[in-house]
Amino acid sequence: MTQPEQHLHDPANVTNPEHASHHIVTPRVYAAVFATLLACTALTVFAADINLGVFNPIIALAIACFKGVIVILFFMHVKYQSRLIKVTVGAGFFMFLVLVTMTLSDYISRAWGLW
Amino acid sequence: MDSAIANPQAEHDTAEHEHVVLPQHRHHFATQEQQREAGSFGMWLFLLTEIMFFGGLFFAYLLYRNWYYDAFVTASNQLSVPLGAANTAILITSGFFMALAVWAAEVRKKALLVVFLIFTIVFGLAFLGIKADEYHEKWEKHHIPGASFDASEFINPAAFGLQEKPLAPDAAQKTQMFFFLYFAMTGMHALHMVIGIGLLFWLLARAQRGDFSAGYVAPIENFGLYWHFVDIVWIFLFPLLYLINRHPLAH
């Protein structure tokens, strides 16, 4: 049984009568993530101006994925949630990959559309 | 960190005091934590359907960008990177304030919660304002796909003072595909934002009434999940739509 975390003044124990572990993410963490997101946005724009050939879209998508991951983990609290929530999020992205991969397998096996 | 949905009895049995029945507690849930987690789980399931929904549009983009790459490059270069980047920063800021609003609700600071919700709305509206300006520009330049679409800017860019590779007339028509996806994806995103802002006004009214300053955080938290999801969609839309082949022409 986890110890109750004293993050807020709650003498009547209204929020959490069963003393479930509940992590409150602080504004400091949010500020750090916010700054990182803005920095990555600037990085994406600058990287777009440099000719890196086939790596331009790869880098742009990699930065976007990183931004998405830190929004999910911190702004959406997933890092502090139960395994159920984490698996749910993972399942969502897995199904998205299935969507893209299976549809792509259809199109790349044909030649129409290309000119 | 086992799920409260899977293990309600573990917490139920070890409680050393009488059950406090909170006003928002629904009795088909054994514990308040189980109720909170079920709500969060449900919102995530909805967001998963949204991932598949936008995923279809992203796939269409993936396909047509590869099929009509030159047309997509030329069309994308008509979008304003400063406006798109500003919008990205604005939406990220809106998400930051939404996260702070969740914190304020959790630590029972009603005034801060109201302020942060207001800032979330303000930055959301700013985003939509810039989007409206961009759409208006497209309207004026006849870049909205359909009968009035004008591809002359792509066939003869030099005549418009643009440093772009000219496209053959049939290739220039493929730019309509880019603009169709641009309007479909950013339009669907904007619709999600409009719905979100509507919900925010309602949450703001309830927050002002004190509904969320006594420990009942779930609506704010779950709306936050929705708002951050809309933010993530834009985080992907911006580089894909605005930053195709932006480096100085070295074809």
Residue A98: CB partners within 8 Å, gap ≥ 6? none
pLDDT-based confidence at B15, cuts 50/70/90? very low
DSSP result, B56-116: HHHHHHHHHHHHTHHHHHHHHTTS-HHHHHHHHHHHHHHHHHHHHHHHHHHTT-HHHHHHH
- Three-point CA angle B31, B35, B39, nearest 5°: 165
Check pLDDT > 80 for residue A101: yes
pLDDT, one tens digit per residue, over A71-86 is: 999 999 999 999 999 9
Mean pLDDT of A45-65: 90
Instruction: Write down the domain spans for chain B.
Output: 56-242
Check pLDDT > 50 for residue B110: yes
Q: Which of A21, A56, A96 sits opposite B51 (nearest CB)?
A: A96
For residue A67, give the chain B residue with the closest CA: B235
pLDDT score, position A7: 54
The dihedral over CA atoms of B43, B47, B53, B58, expressed in degrees to the nearest 10, equals 170
Residue bearing tokens 């809309």: B230
Q: Which of residues 37-96 of B touch A (CB under 8 A)?
A: 37, 40-41, 44-45, 47-48, 51-52, 55-56, 58-59, 62-63, 67, 81, 85, 88-89, 92-93, 95-96
Contact A18 B243 (CB under 8 A): no
Q: Which of B11, B63, B232 sits opposite A71 (nearest CB)?
A: B232
pLDDT-based confidence at B181, cuts 50/70/90? very high
Rg (CA), chain A: 21
pLDDT, one tens digit per residue, over B130-164 is: 999 999 999 999 999 988 898 888 888 888 888 88
ipTM over 0.90: no
Mean pLDDT of B81-91: 95
On whether any CB of chain A is under 8 Å from the CB of B248, the answer is yes
Check pLDDT > 80 for residue A3: no
Q: Which of residues 137-176 of B touch A (CB under 8 A)?
A: none
Overall pTM > 0.90: no
Contact A48 B95 (CB under 8 A): no
pLDDT-based confidence at B214, cuts 50/70/90? confident
On whether any CB of chain A is under 8 Å from the CB of B250, the answer is yes
On whether any CB of chain B is under 8 Å from the CB of A81, the answer is yes
Contact A100 B95 (CB under 8 A): no
Q: Which residues on chain B are in Cβ contact (under 8 Å) with A96?
A: 51-52, 55
pLDDT-based confidence at A4, cuts 50/70/90? very low
Q: Per mean pLDDT, which range of B25-34, B43-52, B53-62, B242-251 is the poorest?
A: B242-251
Q: For testing the chain A interface, which of B235, B240, B241, B245 should be mutated: the one with the most A CBs within 10 Å? A: B235
pLDDT score, position B2: 62
pLDDT score, position B251: 39
Check pLDDT > 50 for residue B199: yes
Check pLDDT > 90 for residue B246: no
For residues B122 and B70, the model is more confident at: B122
Mean pLDDT of B172-177: 90
Round to whole Å and give the CA distance between B169 and B79. 21
Mean pLDDT of B60-70: 91
pLDDT score, position B60: 94
Round to whole Å and give the CA distance between B76 and B82. 13
Mean pLDDT of B24-40: 87
Check pLDDT > 80 for residue A58: yes
C-alpha torsion sign, points B72, B78, B82, B88? negative
pLDDT score, position A99: 95
Round to whole Å and give the CA distance between B159 and B229. 42
Residue bearing tokens 């969320």: B212
CATH 3.40.50.670 assigned to B56-242: no
Check pLDDT > 60 for residue B101: yes
B146 to each of A101, B175, B180, how far by Cα in Å?
Answer: 31, 11, 9
Q: Which of A64, A85, A92 sits opposite B239 (nearest CB)?
A: A64
Mean pLDDT of A42-48: 93
Average pLDDT, chain B: 89
Contact A100 B59 (CB under 8 A): yes
Check pLDDT > 50 for residue B195: yes
